[in-house]
Amino acid sequence: MSEEVIIVRESENLTGTVRVSGAKNSALKLIAASLLGQGESTIHNVPLISDIVIMSEVLETLGASVHREGHVLTIDTSTVDSYETPYELVSKMRASISVLGPLIGRFGRAHVAMPGGCQIGARKIDMHLVGLEQLGVHFEVEHGYLVATTPEGLHGGSIVLDFPSVGATENAMMAAVVAEGETTIDNAACEPEIEDLANMLNAMGAKVSGAGTSVITITGVPLSSMHPCEHTTVGDRIEAGTFLVGGALMGGPLTVEGIDPSFLRMAIMKLRAMGCTVETAEDSITISRTQPLRSVDIQTLPHPGFPTDLQAQFMLLAALAEGNSVITENVFENRFMFASELSRMGADVVIDDHHALVHGVKGLQGAPVVSTDLRAGGALVLAGLIAEGETIVRKISHIDRGYEDYVGKLSSLGARVERTTIEEL
């Protein structure tokens, strides 16, 4: 199969209105949660991205029926009769580990292959296991598979996470909703996607409170009282942030619709600090810039801190800002791989352990670059819009994992960007 690439040419501006898709990091977990409904659930606003295809295939291998019509996914889990997920699928996408909690909740056991996905750090799953162990789950590793059993049944427990891991919080929630008794998750992740998952679980009959705060309380209900539901996925804050960075980079004005501005408070604060005008409404954000970009210091932290998934995009802004910026990565240790690709385009970035020292330059030049992970790929395409000449972005399968019709949406805003194959260059 011929390799697809994205060709980006220097563009005049990004302006207009774009609607973001449903949140990738929410929809994947909502699909997993449907296992607990034991019937036909309908999820709206599901993005058309490759990660959703893989997660749908994971459920189908377990025995579910998954039907897609546009952005609506109908999942019938009444026929699920397996608790083993194959390596071929799980190795493609780390989020497949999200079926661990609901499988344990439904069957009291699970065999899940060790996960794969973006190569942006160790991203150990130890916290997932420690949390579930507090609920009576026993783990062993056999031939590359996590084998989970519940010798004495699932019971409530007190979980304290070392770090507010999104995945560990979600897996613990999805098992605890059908555990006997009460569970508390301390130092829980506070991301909007956690709240979205809790809302769907509650619509299925669960009793979850405190989602979106650092302490989540779950009162277990019998599995038999869980039922299917209809739910709409929240807007994707990272996709929204990526387009806002595009508007900041090129000048705008650019309006992003389908997003709750409160999801991006820290990013909006940093955009304003860099000299952008940002206006918010109930379901949209508009950005414009008429003055030079100013340098800024950023530290990635769990929500409500600055999201690691926007670090690469903001490094691009910092690379063209006046003065020096310091970006500190506290979440994923290998996420600075993007810096070397940006440097190929003329950026001045020095990596010192988990700090990136970014000295602003006057401009970038088009170059052949490689998408090292999902968010780096999105940022490299934006870099090509302002770079002199032509930029060719390779390994765009990373981009397809999380951005629905990225090229189409950018083109609608005035970007000179197209998908083609290596052979057609």
State the binding site for UDP-N-acetyl-alpha-D-glucosamine: 94, 309, 331
> Would residue 190 show up in a list of annotated catalytic residues for this protein?
no
User: How far apart are alpha carbons 417 and 406 in whole angstroms?
Assistant: 10
Q: CB atoms < 10 A from the CB of 203, how many? A: 16
**Nearest alpha-carbon partner for 129 in 64, 196, 175, 90:** 175
Dihedral sign of CA atoms 373, 375, 378, 381 in order = negative
Residue type at 91 in one-letter notation = S
Question: How big is the CA angle at 41 (ends 193 and 303), to the nearest 5 degrees?
Answer: 5
Partner residues linked to 348 by β-bridges: 359
User: How far apart are alpha carbons 251 and 422 in whole angstroms?
Assistant: 31
Residue type at 281 in one-letter notation = A
Task: Please identify which of the residues 118, 190, 229, 276 carries the catalytic annotation.
Answer: 118
Residue owning tokens 């998954």: 66
Q: Which residues have CB under 8 Å from 256's CB, separation 6+?
A: 17, 18, 19, 20, 240, 243, 244, 247, 284, 285, 286, 287
Residue type at 288 in one-letter notation = S
Annotated binding-site residue numbers for phosphoenolpyruvate: 24-25
Reported as half-sphere exposure (CB side, CA atoms, 13 A), residue 119 has a value of: 4
Annotated binding-site residue numbers: 24-25, 94, 309, 331
Q: Are 314 and 298 in contact (CB under 8 A)?
A: yes
Q: Which residues have CB under 8 Å from 326's CB, separation 6+?
A: 297, 298, 355, 356, 357, 358
**Nearest alpha-carbon partner for 400 in 112, 118, 86:** 118
Q: Are 21 and 162 in contact (CB under 8 A)?
A: no
Reported as half-sphere exposure (CB side, CA atoms, 13 A), residue 366 has a value of: 18
**DSSP secondary structure letters along 240-287:** HHHHHHHHHHH---EEEES--GGGGHHHHHHHHHTT-EEEE-SSEEEE
By annotation, the residues acting in catalysis are 118
